[in-house]
Amino acid sequence: MLAAALAVPAICALAGLLAGAAGIPVKGAVLELLDHLPLVSVDSGLSPVERGLIMELRLPRVVLAGIVGGLLAMAGAGYQGVFRNPLADPYLLGAAAGAGLGATLVIVLGQVDALVPPAAFTGAVGGVLLAYALGNATRRGGGGTATLVLAGVAVASFLSAVQTLVQQLGAEQLQRIYAWILGGVGADWSQVRLVAPYAVLSAGVLLAHGRLLDVLSVGDDEAVSLGVSATRVRLVVLCAASLATAAAVAVSGLIGFVGIVIPHVVRRLAGGSYRVVLPLSLLAGAAFLVLADLAARTVIAPAELPIGVITAFVGGPFFVAVLRATRSVAT
């Protein structure tokens, strides 16, 4: 299972490097990648233009798509473990609405594109913190995680309303705003460097808490009897999943359904233990978004579809199937 989980993203990444208007031979692409490894020197036989196309355009795009997909899928699995709800997704606590507001403000104010990712990241983190503060203040009267979810819904609605108001004040920038909202990954190593530290930190924390999420899945009372602080575990996982979501949204826009689709597929194939679900969601999410990005730039080539459209085509019907299955179980 582990070998297959590692092989699938590698195959998808190679497909992402080869596909495009300019064809690249498989052997040349593989040798070019090997040539950039430490202590390895081989001649790929590619022209300087082909080498630049792979290393400066396609490879950063594939790497960024893999990071974003892996973060969103792992964050979705973490949220579902914390809330014990199969429909929980990375945007549950207002991260999407906060990121959208931050990016919209920068675009409407006419700032440079380089400021959009930091603004989206700040907005996403701010939205989650606001939802958590509101939920924590309200939860003193009881309600548990359900209160936190409702606080997230309230914050998301408020921030979305503010974003709509800002859009109306800068109607001439609507095309740029909607292009960001529909999602996409760029071909720029600077964005990879921007998201990498947050990706490593959040992924490491989530992977380290896989066993504890398994303990929480049997109930809070049982967890306490085993010496596990359910409150602490939930807080740490929520913070890590929210950080992963904010980092992904900052460089890709709002890409939906990855955090719902991938964890469910992984559970179907590998069981429900979060020690397995979390790492496999990371790998499967990376492979899924690389393929989605590949489809986005080839379906109507030379034009390009927003990657969020591709994930919605796949995730929409899947979400309906999950919802029906959940209702059947409840009945």
- 45: domain CATH number? 1.10.3470.10
Query: Is residue 100 over pLDDT 80?
Result: yes
pLDDT digits (tens, 9 = 90+) for 171-184: 778 888 888 888 88
Question: What pTM, to 2 d.p., does this model score?
Answer: 0.90
Q: How far is Cα 224 from Cα 20, in angstroms, rounded to an integer? A: 54
At 141 the pLDDT is 52
Count of domains forming the chain:
1
- Given a contact cutoff of 8 angstroms between Cβ atoms, the answer to whether 184 and 194 are in contact is no
Q: Provide, rounded to the nearest whole percent, the portion of the chain with pLDDT above 70.
A: 95
Element (DSSP H or E) covering residue 199 = helix 189-208
pLDDT digits (tens, 9 = 90+) for 203-239: 999 999 999 999 888 877 787 887 888 889 988 999 9
pLDDT digits (tens, 9 = 90+) for 130-150: 988 888 777 655 556 778 888
Q: How far is Cα 38 from Cα 192, in angstroms, rounded to an integer? A: 20
CB-based contacts of 90, cutoff 8 Å, min separation 6 = 72, 75, 76, 79, 241, 244, 245, 248, 258, 259
pLDDT band with cut points at 50, 70 and 90 for residue 89 = confident
Q: Which domain holds residue 248?
A: 2-330
pLDDT digits (tens, 9 = 90+) for 55-77: 888 999 999 999 999 999 999 99
